[in-house]
Chain A
């Protein structure tokens, strides 16, 4: 069994899971700060970032593309904060203004410049390419201990694993400042906490997670994982620590179940082909959110926002 599972299914499942958790972790705080849309915003500005990176470097290799996307994401995050603070408008509107403008700029940039030779595949951007992230050098579980085979792991796996570790470390170290400044920003400032910097570093870390995950699994998973697991987790508990734990569980469940259902679900139903794993993972996370909304123990709360 391992002979087939390890090269073909293990890498995509791990990559999907790590990407899902890396997005869900900061998603918890973004949700509580009414900034959950930032995942959506970041995945839109990846396009101008990639085009700009191509124009500057003239290559389509992954490194410059990722750096371009990251620069665009961080620029967006700073612009959103600027618009929000200078214009004194709510975060949702600030995000909407900035990311649509950046995306539109990216489209124009793409059309005006000579990028026709570059294959920027929209479908790839949306669904990613999870199924193609296979590890051909693996022959079975034993390959996990084989240094020679490990060298040929899909490069996305170590990349997203390192990102996940960085995101988790950030959350662990800044847990208390994040919690206090999310709950009561004014009080946090009287403690001497740099609340502006904390908010900016949170969205920057979210941008890092989004770009790394986007590269591996596409924007649909990124958008879904910023919102669905934390939102479902909020309905399971009234404690932030437990909410984060639930969101990790839901993100993992979505990734694993989604991948398996995408690969085998259609066959079980008598169909022929597998469906997109990214689409199925996002769908599973949505179903989990639906179930939590219907049966979660903390779904109806006094003081909860209207309609929540």
Chain B
């Protein structure tokens, strides 16, 4: 078996890559002269809940968007279950950052969730009762079914985030990619979202989320991908999320006391 050894000694075999729900090789993305993501390899473990963490401007969201084909990388390949991304879009659901859309858009909560069914319904296919029922079931799962007919501008930040999660659920994917799902949401929403994500994992789905709250990494996730433009560490929380890797990724930006606190919480 050919082993691909990368810079920090991390090893991903071809079989591991082929079975991975999301494998990235040699990904470099740049918006200007400086690369936002540089030569990153990532192999997400099937059935895992993986947090992408790193300091501000480390390229977390950019990496996620490049995996989805939303931004074009300068170089690199994305494989989903060993196949090119373009063939596997139906297997992937995406929850963008809440602030990335205009919530004044004239549409209802249920309509947003129905957008998740686009690939099934198609250009001119008729929306049937069964589709509506499924969309409502997804809203129910995030505790938002009572808001189905509300205009989306009337929702709080946490409610908006839950609607986006419901839309991803409607996609009935195998791989869920979320961009900062807990940013600026209330405690009740955070609990509701993590409960849904854990139930997805229980169903055998894979969840990858850009995450910025280091204190909850150990509670919410079982795997970590740590990035600061380059890959810092990758693997189970116990081995990849350590004082050393944190120091490497965050440098002086993370006080030693914070690192100790996190280590203590993990121990």
Judging by beta carbons under 8 Å apart, are B108 and A189 in contact? no
CA distance A237 to B103 in the complex (A): 15
CA distance A239 to B68 in the complex (A): 29
Instruction: List chain B residues, Cβ under 8 A from A189.
Output: 68-70
CA distance A177 to B86 in the complex (A): 18
Selected contact of B96 from candidates A179, A186, A301, A305, CB within 8 Å: A186
Selected contact of B70 from candidates A179, A186, A234, A301, CB within 8 Å: A186
**Smallest CB separation, A246 vs chain B (Å):** 10
Specify the chain B residue showing the minimal Cβ separation from A304.
B104
Judging by beta carbons under 8 Å apart, are B105 and A301 in contact? no
Q: Quick one: CB contact mask for A177-188 with B, threshold 8 Å, 1 for yes?
A: 101101110110
Q: Quick one: CB contact mask for B77-119 with A, threshold 8 Å, 1 for yes?
A: 0000000001001001010100011111111100110010011
Judging by beta carbons under 8 Å apart, are A183 and B101 in contact? yes
CA distance A239 to B92 in the complex (A): 28
Judging by beta carbons under 8 Å apart, are B96 and A184 in contact? yes
Instruction: List chain B residues, Cβ under 8 A from A180.
Output: 115, 118
B146 contacts the other chain (CB 8 A): no
Instruction: List chain B residues, Cβ under 8 A from A187.
Output: 94, 96, 115, 167
Selected contact of B151 from candidates A177, A191, A238, CB within 8 Å: A238
Q: Quick one: CB contact mask for A277-308 with B, threshold 8 Å, 1 for yes?
A: 00000000000000000000010011111001
**Smallest CB separation, B174 vs chain A (Å):** 14
Judging by beta carbons under 8 Å apart, are A303 and B101 in contact? no
Selected contact of B89 from candidates A32, A191, A240, A298, CB within 8 Å: A191
A-B contact count (CB 8 A): 82
Q: Quick one: CB contact mask for B208-239 with A, threshold 8 Å, 1 for yes?
A: 00000000000000000000000000000000
B130 contacts the other chain (CB 8 A): no
Selected contact of B94 from candidates A179, A186, A239, A240, CB within 8 Å: A186
Selected contact of A192 from candidates B86, B104, B108, B124, CB within 8 Å: B86
Selected contact of B123 from candidates A177, A184, A243, CB within 8 Å: A177
Judging by beta carbons under 8 Å apart, are A234 and B89 in contact? no
Instruction: List chain A residues, Cβ under 8 A from B101.
Output: 183-184
Instruction: List chain B residues, Cβ under 8 A from A191.
Output: 89, 118-119
Judging by beta carbons under 8 Å apart, are B115 and A238 in contact? no
B65 contacts the other chain (CB 8 A): yes
CA distance A243 to B108 in the complex (A): 13
CA distance A180 to B68 in the complex (A): 17
**Smallest CB separation, A306 vs chain B (Å):** 11
**Smallest CB separation, A196 vs chain B (Å):** 11
Judging by beta carbons under 8 Å apart, are B103 and A303 in contact? yes
